[in-house]
Amino acid sequence: MYFKTRIKIFQQVRAIYLSCIILISSLLSCAQNFNFEKMRQNMVETQIEARGISSPKILKAFMNVERHRFVLPRYISKAYDDNPLPIDEGQTISQPYIVAFMTQSLNLKQKDKVLEIGTGSGYQAAILGQLCDSVYTVEIFPKLGKKANDLFIELGYSNIYSKVGDGYEGWSEHAPFDAIIVTCSPTHIPQPLKDQLAEGGRMVIPVGSYPFQNLVLLEKRKGIIREKKILPVRFVPMLDKEGDRY
């Protein structure tokens, strides 16, 4: 009976293994049939440029960054669709237009040092990495942080620095930052992030409780921070290490 049970378990494991191999092969085969460059071009033209994102540098960055590398395999056919997509840990990769709108709102320069709160799959950081000399990105979920960092290395980004930590606290060791972008929504703007914003710097952050959130643009001039609501949005909440929201 013992050996029969072991054989049965082995057969079940083997069947699951073979199913996984078939699924992966199917996904790879499917991926090879997509014209990602054409899909990306269509995304840039119809979703981003057509909605008023006019910066040539930003449009070029969205053409350079392969969004399908930052989505889960089962969503690869939807990688360039006009909507957010689920990723691990119950988080999302934002709609391409929102990524572009937030990026343009920062009015970035090549020499800028940027802080991102909420690495997620790494897509927003990769876009920023095309535009700026240095990007610092913080992720609360270790699984997401490691996966994104591995992808940055694989794609050859030497100007993106990532860590797992509490985004509410920012990354004070590398402050001040010329720009800060937050991709999760707290109920209020974290004071540590305000403190880490450089003179003349800009921050874009979604603020509020779901589903009523506003994208807020902050600018620091002569030590005074001015805030302006610029767009209604929906983002996942900003969480602490215990999983409670800020």
pLDDT tens, position by position, 51-76: 999 999 999 999 999 999 999 999 99
Read off the pLDDT of residues 79-114 as tens digits, 9 standing for 90 and up: 999 999 999 999 999 999 999 999 999 999 999 999
* 56-64 helix and 123-131 helix, angle to the nearest 10 degrees: 130
More confident of the two residues 28 and 81: 81
Q: 70: closest CA among 131, 11, 125? A: 125
CA distance 236 to 102: 16
Nearest to 204 by CA among 221, 189, 224: 189
Supply the pLDDT for residue 226: 96
Phi and psi dihedrals of 90, rounded to 5?
70, 15
pLDDT of residue 245: 85
Q: Which amino acid is at 8?
A: K
> What are the extents of the domains in the chain?
36-233
- Structural element, H or E, at residue 202: strand 197-207
Distance, in Å, from the CA atom of 123 to the CA atom of 103, rounded to the nearest integer, reads: 12
Class of domain 36-233 as given by CATH: alpha beta
What is the pLDDT, as a whole number, of residue 29?
43
Element (H, E) at 21: helix 2-32
- Across the range 239-245, mean pLDDT stands at 85
DSSP 138-150: EES-HHHHHHHHH
Q: Is the per-residue pLDDT at 2 higher than 50?
A: no
Average pLDDT, the chain: 90
What is the C-alpha to C-alpha distance for residues 139 and 165, in angstroms, rounded to an integer? 6
Q: Which residues are part of the catalytic machinery?
A: 94
Among candidate residues 217, 118, 102, the one with its CA nearest the CA of residue 164: 118
Reported pTM: 0.85
- Give residue-wise pLDDT tens across range 113-141: 999 999 999 999 999 999 999 999 999 99
